Structure 1
Amino acid sequence: MPAVAQATTAVIQDVRRPTDLRGVLETDPKILLDRAYARGRAQGLNYAGSLYPPEAWKLVQSGLAVLLDVRTLEELKFVGHVPDTQHLAWQTGPSMLKNPRFLREFKARFKPDQIIVLLCRSGKRSAAAAQAVSAAGYTQVFNVLEGFEGDLDLQQQRGEQGGWRHWELPWIQD
């Protein structure tokens, strides 16, 4: 195998969590997309794959993907959100019931082959939403690992163990 092909294959197969924000932002978006697909295959996902926050941001900034925040309106308002992104709540209300209009509204906004990146608080609701839309025929749906706030730390708080804000990616709070 030529050296260039070996290097590209190694970059794509490196599906570990990135550690260098600048390195991710300097990586070709198509390589990041290939990594996300590789993660999906490695994890046996029934949707296209998964991205870490800086990878998702790079794809959105490059114009390859659309970012859809699936958190509640309350989370967007009180916790913050990524500027200039779309929103469609996967769950609603204080009891966090599944939004019965989610799939219908999703289908009205997006094409089945469009690259769509889903974001929630920690990556769990967006993974569930990715499963649902993939089952409905969408082939390019990705989950953002770590979500907006990241996982809980030892003090049961978010923000120190990954997530969009932890990576210091653009966000605002109205």
Structure 2
Amino acid sequence: MSSELLEVALPDALEQAREEAVANGLPFAGGVSPPVAWSLVKSGKAVLVDVRSHEERVFVGYVPGSVHVPWATGTSLIRNPRFVRELEAKLGGKDKGAVLLCRSGNRSAQAAEAAAKAGLTLVFNVTEGFEGELDGNSQRGRLNGWRSHGLPWVQD
């Protein structure tokens, strides 16, 4: 989808995300695809928050300009007990829009749920994550995900 068409479709995409969240009983604002998330970030409507571990960002790559608030830390992925406080501080308040990104969309959904329960109401999950789902060969990055959409990312 071209950026012009995506800008026009953005309100509809957010409304659809909210409707699906309600229908599925999700406590957060909903899930959006990587292109919709990128459009939200570019338009200034949301901050992209990478909830992966520091190690994942270093070894797999990250989105330039994204904010890093790990949902879990270290190689054993111990849950970050300060996640919500750190997220709110980096966003600058509870009423700021955010799209949360992890590897596949699973941890970021958990993080979005925790944020919503703490009163952050404009938090969306990036459904496909940074690397996407596993394909038939048990490999990520080919079916979907931030990178497969050709969106900006870098690797150290």
Pairwise TM-score range, normalised by the shorter structure: over 0.9
Provide structure 2 residue ranges, at least 5 long, that are not aligned to the other structure.
none
- The structure that has the greater radius of gyration is 1
CA contact (8 A) 1:29 1:62 kept: no
After TM superposition, give the deviation of residue 107 of structure 1 in Å: 2.5
Deviation per CA, 1:17-64: give whole Å up to 9, x if none: xxxx32753534323322221221232211011100001001111111
Corresponding residue for residue 61 of structure 1: 42
After TM superposition, give the deviation of residue 103 of structure 1 in Å: 1.8
Cα distance between partner residues in 2 of 1:145 and 1:102:
20
Corresponding residue for residue 15 of structure 1: none
Corresponding residue for residue 22 of structure 1: 2
Which residue identity does 2:51 align to in structure 1? V
Q: Does 1:140 align with 2:126?
A: no
Greater RCO structure (CA 8 Å; 6+ sep): 2
2:148 alignment partner, SS class: coil
Q: What is the TM-score normalised by the length of structure 2? A: 0.92
Corresponding residue for residue 117 of structure 1: 99
Q: Return 40-49 or 143-152, whichever deviates more.
A: 40-49
Corresponding residue for residue 127 of structure 1: 109
Cα distance between partner residues in 1 of 2:94 and 2:85:
13
2:108 alignment partner, SS class: helix
1:117 alignment partner, SS class: strand
Which residue identity does 1:22 align to in structure 2? S
Corresponding residue for residue 89 of structure 1: 70
Cα distance between partner residues in 2 of 1:42 and 1:149:
27
After TM superposition, give the deviation of residue 108 of structure 1 in Å: 1.9
1:166 alignment partner, SS class: helix
Provide structure 1 residue ranges, at least 5 long, that are not aligned to the other structure.
1-20
User: In the comparison of the two structures, how many residue pairs are matched?
Assistant: 154
Which residue identity does 2:107 align to in structure 1? R
1:133 alignment partner, SS class: helix
Corresponding residue for residue 50 of structure 1: 31
CA contact (8 A) 2:67 2:90 kept: no
Q: Return 25-34 or 135-144, whichever deviates more.
A: 25-34
Cα distance between partner residues in 1 of 2:11 and 2:41:
12
Q: What is the TM-score normalised by the length of structure 1? A: 0.83
